[in-house]
Structure 1
């Protein structure tokens, strides 16, 4: 080996740490808190607005006590959901590093150490139900505990079980809609539970269907179960769920005693039109395979947003006159 070759190798060895420093993620004092916040999925917190569903349906949303409790429950449910996201990303860190998109998640990218994600997630999973028991009531704490346990089981194994994965995610949405009523001791009607449950199943199965359509013929599905579901089956599920949700809502609107005597118009019955239009409009995106993220569909489609506002106005008038 010549002297020049030896010198070149020595320089290469000395340069390796410098190159490693150049490619390593930049660490700043705010990197860890920012990474934890990103892992908590702030964009997904919009789903927790469902906590207002039961109080709004009962017409008891706008008292000072109700607003305080709903705000508190929203924060507690957000903490519980964030705990699940943190544990999920810590558990899937190795797999996420091999994914073209998920490798940018803070845990997979190394911005948040795996032990830290587990520790913060575990702390939130314990503190959220405990705070609910102190600040709300035992029923709220029990539901939050059940939600955390169910979602952690989903992260570990249930997401790999056909059909059960759909049921677990749907139940998570239903729990969001129920918890506001439990916190305020509001009885939950059978029509509210049926409409909300099957409406959630409609959106969840439409999302899975859209993912399956987009991944058809491609390798590396983002969800392992997408290779086991068929698009025909997922289409059947979202169509069935949509039909049951509409039927339950119609039965609620048309049931005996549902006509308000003080109202000039039957808002309760008229709200069926807006509800049906909303479901049909959302089904357009489901059928195209572009309903991957429910919040994106609702917020980005202007027509669906307008229909939603009209429905909220009609439903509000119906509840006010009830």
Structure 2
């Protein structure tokens, strides 16, 4: 029962909300106790809001999910959890999320989270059926995570971090669509209407364009004079090595079918050891650059 509940609220997808901690790290406030607590509460609030939206979507799509080769194994679609339990999960997640927001007592942060929820609802009801715009909405959700992380610790988001986040999220959105096309093949349109407007070749062009913009934007971020001044040196530019490899690895995984056409970036992070190692090394190097006492 507990395992089914955790699968239903997509606890493994909470990794996406770790992006909320990015401003904490890049503003050199990681060891500021108040900032860390506020960022952590914002992280949990976003996780609970996202889980509520996941369950609502599963309740709405329960019949179509039963026809999907992968989604049919979800707890609600497979019958492991009943509809009343699904509704109860939504209410519990919403109640806990609201409690955290009350503790944070930040009206603007509440509005950002509300905007995130509205965007996800609009995406589910309408925009997920409009090609390209569907992935734009996914990217917008990641932008709001960054903005929420900044507001939680009272710092302004830099233009570079917003641009990098947008193109990275957009690229991962197209990687996911490519994976869905490969898994569902000829039956793709029946499971997700928008896939009829996409093709593998088109996805490759979009992925290459977004990965290029991500790399260029991140490169300019690392050599920006304000960043160099904050860090105290220009060594951050060498972190580009990890970013280049990480992006190329995602592009490679989306193409070689190592995980049977699995294109969900979150799943790839959990499954692929090179991606995990690259992320770990990148984080260590960034922490070294921002928090090394020798600089």
Q: Calculate the TM-score normalised by the size of structure 1.
A: 0.80
| 1:203 to 2:172 alignment | yes
SS at structure 1 position matched to 2:55: helix
Q: Kindly tell me: are residues 87 and 251 of structure 1, through their superposed partners in 2, closer, same or farther at Cα, counting changes over 3 Å?
A: same
Please say which of residues 113-122 and 271-280 is displaced more in the overlay. 113-122
Aligned pairs (5 A) from 1:272-283: 272-283=240-251
SS at structure 2 position matched to 1:216: helix
CA distance in 2, matches of 1:254, 1:313: 19
Q: Kindly tell me: are residues 259 and 48 of structure 1, through their superposed partners in 2, closer, same or farther at Cα, counting changes over 3 Å?
A: closer
CA distance in 1, matches of 2:231, 2:125: 53
SS at structure 1 position matched to 2:225: coil
Match of 2:239 among 228, 251, 271: 271
Q: Kindly tell me: are residues 259 and 43 of structure 1, through their superposed partners in 2, closer, same or farther at Cα, counting changes over 3 Å?
A: closer
Q: Which residue of 1 aligns with 2:197?
A: 228
CA distance in 1, matches of 2:47, 2:92: 14
Please say which of residues 177-186 and 192-201 is displaced more in the overlay. 177-186
| 1:317 to 2:285 alignment | no
Provide the aligned C-alpha RMSD in A. Answer: 2.7
Q: Which residue of 1 aligns with 2:160?
A: 191
| 1:160 to 2:129 alignment | yes
Shift of 1:98: 3.1
Q: Which residue of 2 aligns with 1:302?
A: 273
CA distance in 2, matches of 1:204, 1:67: 29
Shift of 1:308: 2.2
Larger Rg over CA atoms: 1
Q: Kindly tell me: are residues 228 and 42 of structure 1, through their superposed partners in 2, closer, same or farther at Cα, counting changes over 3 Å?
A: same
The runs of 5 or more residues in structure 1 that have no matched partner are 1-30
Match of 1:108 among 77, 83, 94: 77
Match of 2:64 among 71, 91, 95: 95
Shift of 1:307: 2.5
Match of 1:287 among 234, 237, 255: 255
| 1:50 to 2:47 alignment | no
SS at structure 1 position matched to 2:220: helix
Aligned pairs (5 A) from 1:210-225: 210-218=179-187, 222-225=191-194
CA distance in 2, matches of 1:315, 1:262: 10
Contact 2:188/2:196 (<8 A) preserved: no
Contact 1:73/1:179 (<8 A) preserved: yes
CA distance in 1, matches of 2:7, 2:272: 25
Shift of 1:150: 1.1
CA distance in 2, matches of 1:300, 1:145: 32
CA distance in 2, matches of 1:185, 1:164: 31
Shift of 1:89: 0.8
Aligned pairs (5 A) from 1:54-93: 54-93=23-62
SS at structure 2 position matched to 1:85: helix
Q: Calculate the TM-score normalised by the size of structure 2.
A: 0.86
The runs of 5 or more residues in structure 2 that have no matched partner are none
CA distance in 1, matches of 2:101, 2:77: 31
Number of residue pairs matched by the alignment: 290
Shift of 1:238: 1.1
Contact 1:159/1:165 (<8 A) preserved: yes
Please say which of residues 105-114 and 229-238 is displaced more in the overlay. 105-114
Contact 2:119/2:137 (<8 A) preserved: yes
Q: Which residue of 1 aligns with 2:118?
A: 149
Shift of 1:216: 3.0
Deviation track 1:38-72 (CA, whole Å, cap 9, x = no partner) reads 32111211222111111111111222112211221
